Amino acid sequence: MSGGNEPQRSGASAAATAPRAGAAPDPGIGAIAGLRVLDLTRVVAGPLCAQTLADHGANVIKVESSIGDESRRLGRRFVDGSAPYFHGLNRNKRSIVLDLSTDADREQLLALIADADVLIENFIAGTMARWGLGYEEHLAARFPRLIYCTISGYGNDGPLAGLPGYDAVAQAMSGLMSINGDPASGPTRIGIPLVDLATGMNATIGILLALAERARSGRGQRVETALFDNALALLHPHASEWLLAKHLNGLTGNRHPVSAPYEPFTAGGAPIFIGVVADRQFSLLCRTLGLDDMLADPRFQGLAARLENRDEMHDIIQARIVDENADALCTRLMRAGVPAGAMHTVAEALDHPQTAARGMLVSMGGYRGVGIPVKLARTPGSVRRAPPRPGADGPEIDW
């Protein structure tokens, strides 16, 4: 597949690697096998995007400076010379070290771009152009099939264009923190880099959309996504509540703003979560717990009434289940059609038999990671390479 010099190779490669209809899954062939991707990104959003493409068969070369991806040093624990933070986002890639401020290394990158389908970068705005690698200024005409994905904090326009951004700052500025937490905690950062992860996923979607369009037009294009934009897009249903009804939910804690009971309880001394949305689920909950009287109580008839009286409802349910075994209760509720689950630690969740059954743990030599969440029947994703050491595949790397 070519960024400019060999426009016909894309279709040929796809035909050569696609399994025949009805064939058994081949873990060595992914849905985008043969796609050539240059990953010039660091930390979370860009590396996740490139890893997702790599998991599904793309040939990904990670380009690092001599300093390396900052996430290699994030934390106090290290595996094979890099932090677990790095290992979670960079499998199935090869690595080359280039100093893009030098003519020789820029020429080496340009040679790789000549046969690349996708380039992903998350430098501060203007950096690539300063190196003679800007998309509109330097690459678009020379490599007309190249899909150029840029990831930034605030995008390329507006009063904050070009300024640095990190996940937690985007959570704060977008309003996400204003709905996360409770009155005791105050506004609270979500405990994962949610905005970074969403940005990486949407960058992947954008690249795949551009690839689909390129199959029709033969032309590449710029794909842009920003942390701030993605943080705003995550505000459902709070943004709609404000835009359409001028209502702010404020800090919601562990309760759902528009469903009840949708919150934590305690059973046998262990925390569980029960999530009820529909009236039918509430009826199933009450009947399963032997709380049929609640169904005739006007305080709990219909969602609006339950939201208005959720404290009283919570207390009745909590008193009923306080001595129940948590796991047994959750199993009983789920089998009755009521979503419920134990509040696991990370270790407990990774050790759960459902995790193993879904192939959501992978192991390769000394590498262990979370599995691939998108399951394709004919062309499943696969883990083929552990995360690379810096420059492990250079300096004469090629496609």
Long-range contacts of 386-389 (CB under 8 A, 24+ apart): 386/80, 386/87, 386/91, 387/80, 387/82, 387/86, 387/87, 387/89, 387/90, 387/91, 387/93, 388/62, 388/90, 388/93, 388/94, 388/95, 389/80, 389/81, 389/82, 389/95
Q: How far apart are CA 33 and CA 54, in angstroms?
A: 9
Q: How far apart are CA 59 and CA 94, in angstroms?
A: 8
87 has catalytic annotation: no
Q: How far apart are CA 231 and CA 202, in angstroms?
A: 11
Structure tokens at 398: 């090629």
Q: How far apart are CA 310 and CA 306, in angstroms?
A: 5
132: left (phi over 0), alpha (psi -120 to 50) or beta: left
* Active-site pick, 56, 87, 238, 256: 256
Asked whether the beta carbons of 310 and 256 are under 8 A apart, the reply is: no
Q: Which active-site residues does the annotation give?
A: 256
